[in-house]
Structure 1
Amino acid sequence: MVLWGLVPSSPAVNVLVLVVATALVWVGSGWLEASAENLAAYYGLPAVVQGSVVVAVGSSFPELASVVFAALAGAFDIGIGAVVGSAIFNVLVIPALSGLASDDDLSASRTIVYKEAQFYMLAVSALIVTLALAVIYAPVAGPTLDGDLTRPLAMIPLLLYGLYLFIQWQDVSDAGTPGNPSVSARRAWTTLAVGLLVILVAVEQLVHSVESLGTTFGVPEFLLGVTVVAAATSLPDTLVSVQSARDGNGATSLGNVFGSNTFDLLVAVPVGVLIVGAVTVNFAVAVPMFAVLTLATLLLFTALRTGLSLTTAEAATLLASYVLFVAWVVAESLGVTSLIRGA
């Protein structure tokens, strides 16, 4: 319920709530990421692990919250649409803006390309397989290709994320980076908790306002999640990665991109399912979007592998690709194209 029913719901009110909620997500995420970086320094985490786990999990909390609240509101399509749309935004827009903001080519490393990027592609495949298993083993009768994503199935991507954390833990042990005891861990944990609370409240209202606008204007929930909610929840990742690129830290910038997407796919979606018990997914809607995500990931992977850096021309190509994606989503919404069946 928008603003907990304190004011009458109208398109103008919903748009205002959407803008304010997005601003609050940005503020709360800033606190969350600052505390996450301080905790990474306190515990002595390497730059790649800091970007791919600590900062990535922190900046991905808006996506996690959007999935949870969307699932509780019976609008899971908004949540999973936000995750997929955010993942596409992350691999196309964030590296592009980071590359353009960097004084030189955005540097990558073999760790980023051969560990983070490839494990992320494994995460995409794992979630597609999980959704396919839902259609095969828990089909929902109807004209569309639907299936119930249950708690046992949701454990598959979660277990894979456990493997990811184990790999990162091994890297931390091998690096042996000393911690920084001058950082106040108590203050960092407190700031982290406050940031999470602000994000929770903001995302709850954001999901409700988007759902209400979708009902008013007849826009499919999934497409709203892919565009509006995805862009709003990806704002923290964008700010973190761009700032890291300006500071000359390409490892943290790109590590945040792949780490955030890995968390979104393997944790955010399953957690929403674990909370509500089971959700119905439309496989015919999800697969075309995952196909776009796969192509976007391959495009970024190819750009990074050539010279282990992202040039200005490659960054511009990524940005143009996202513009084409948005144009396609608008065309789907207007009925000009119909590649997404049942959206």
Structure 2
Amino acid sequence: MTYLQLVAGLALLLVCGDLFVRGAVGVAERLKISPLVIGLTLVGFGTSLPELVASLEAARLGSPGIAVGNVVGSNIANILLILGIAALITPIAVAPGTFRLNGPVLVGASLLSVLLFSLGEIGRWAGFVFVVLLLGYTLTAYWSERRGLKDEAISRLAEEVEALPPRHGSWALYLGLTVGGLLGIVVGANLLIDGAVSLARSLGISETIIGLTIVAVGTSLPELATSVIAAFKRHGDVALGNVVGSNIFNLLGILGVTALYRPIAVPDEILDFDCWVMLAATALVIVFALTRAKIERWEGAALLGGYGAYLAVLLLAPLRGFLGLP
């Protein structure tokens, strides 16, 4: 039953996350909202919605290891796993100015999160600050892009956004997709978190490890699908922007909203090890992106290798204990 809950929850998150984005974008287009605004808000928010609902559900159930581990593990997986796969498919060109705003914001949000982790708890005041910072970042990104984007960049963004919803449909269809997708995400998150807690207890391992692995990767499936499709279309810059934007939203939005809902205790395991892996992965992708304005295939392989090493370290001790080895 536990494994069935996990599989059903992951499937619902992947399918319903896509339905929510399609429906929300369709509604936004009929409200005459520009593709630029849609791309900066609805698409990025929609692909991160599974992480948000899963962390809120984990906080409601009193499982801080899953709530925090989901965010930290998702950021690690987004960079090392998802970006690594995308770079292996096609080298990722870094557009000039891509990191002018996003890079410093990602680094700043990561450092601020680790600083708050060291306090042992992310309180409501910290959640409020994170949400305000996210709103400020979104508004700054919107106005800077409005002033600085060239016509061809706007055309590319419009093309990516217009590819998401069905070509023809009524208001009822898009509203149905939006509401149905949101409800499916909530149900999927409930199944995933319940299954994750049951699995951790049955295997005798910490909920934090489950949050950092199964839950984190599962809720990152929409980002994986988006980035892989973009890479196959030779739009590697879209894959990079998707990962960077998602990581910023995970830290400022998901941690912020979850802490506003309920203060989150930070497990010692995350403070001792995983948050530093997140910082190292963030630094590594920025170095790769800025050195030659491109993330090459060998660098993608290095990112994937790093994720394999991280999982090996994370799972080695629990696996030895489960097998009864010294």
Q: TM-score, normalised by structure 1?
A: 0.81
Match of 1:106 in 2: 92
1:66 aligns with 2:54: yes
The AA in structure 2 aligned to 1:153 is A
CA contact (8 A) 2:134 2:252 kept: yes
Compute the displacement of 1:24 (Å).
1.3
Change over 3 Å in CA distance of 1:39–1:296 after alignment to 2: farther
Match of 2:290 in 1: 305
The AA in structure 1 aligned to 2:95 is S
1:27 aligns with 2:50: no
Change over 3 Å in CA distance of 1:313–1:52 after alignment to 2: farther
Match of 1:6 in 2: none
Match of 2:35 in 1: 45
Q: Residues 1-343 of structure 1 correspond to what in structure 2 (within 5 A)?
A: 13-35=1-23, 38=26, 43-46=33-36, 53-102=41-90, 105-132=91-118, 135=119, 147-174=120-147, 175=149, 186=171, 187-276=173-262, 278-283=263-268, 285-334=270-319
The AA in structure 1 aligned to 2:270 is V
Structure number having the greater helix percentage: 2
CA contact (8 A) 1:45 1:172 kept: no
Q: Provide the aligned length of Structure 1 versus Structure 2.
A: 305
Measure the CA separation in 2 of the matches of 1:279 and 1:326: 24
Measure the CA separation in 2 of the matches of 1:54 and 1:286: 32
Compute the displacement of 1:210 (Å).
0.6
CA contact (8 A) 1:124 1:265 kept: yes
Compute the displacement of 1:193 (Å).
2.5
Measure the CA separation in 2 of the matches of 1:38 and 1:253: 22
Change over 3 Å in CA distance of 1:183–1:255 after alignment to 2: farther
Change over 3 Å in CA distance of 1:251–1:259 after alignment to 2: same
| 2:266 counterpart SS class | strand
Measure the CA separation in 1 of the matches of 2:92 and 2:38: 18
CA contact (8 A) 2:64 2:267 kept: no
The AA in structure 2 aligned to 1:296 is A
Q: Which runs of 5+ in 2 are unaligned?
A: 322-326
Measure the CA separation in 2 of the matches of 1:154 and 1:185: 38
The AA in structure 1 aligned to 2:103 is A
Compute the displacement of 1:51 (Å).
5.3
CA contact (8 A) 2:70 2:211 kept: yes
Match of 1:3 in 2: none
Higher RCO (Cα < 8 Å, 6 or more apart)? 2
Compute the displacement of 1:172 (Å).
4.3
Change over 3 Å in CA distance of 1:274–1:302 after alignment to 2: same
Deviations 1:38-90 (A, max 9, x none): 567653334xx765543221111111011100000011211110110010000
Compute the displacement of 1:291 (Å).
0.7
Measure the CA separation in 2 of the matches of 1:40 and 1:98: 29
| 2:122 counterpart SS class | strand
CA contact (8 A) 1:53 1:256 kept: no
Q: TM-score, normalised by structure 2?
A: 0.85
Measure the CA separation in 2 of the matches of 1:51 and 1:251: 14
Measure the CA separation in 1 of the matches of 2:141 and 2:218: 28
Q: Which runs of 5+ in 1 are unaligned?
A: 1-12, 136-146, 337-343
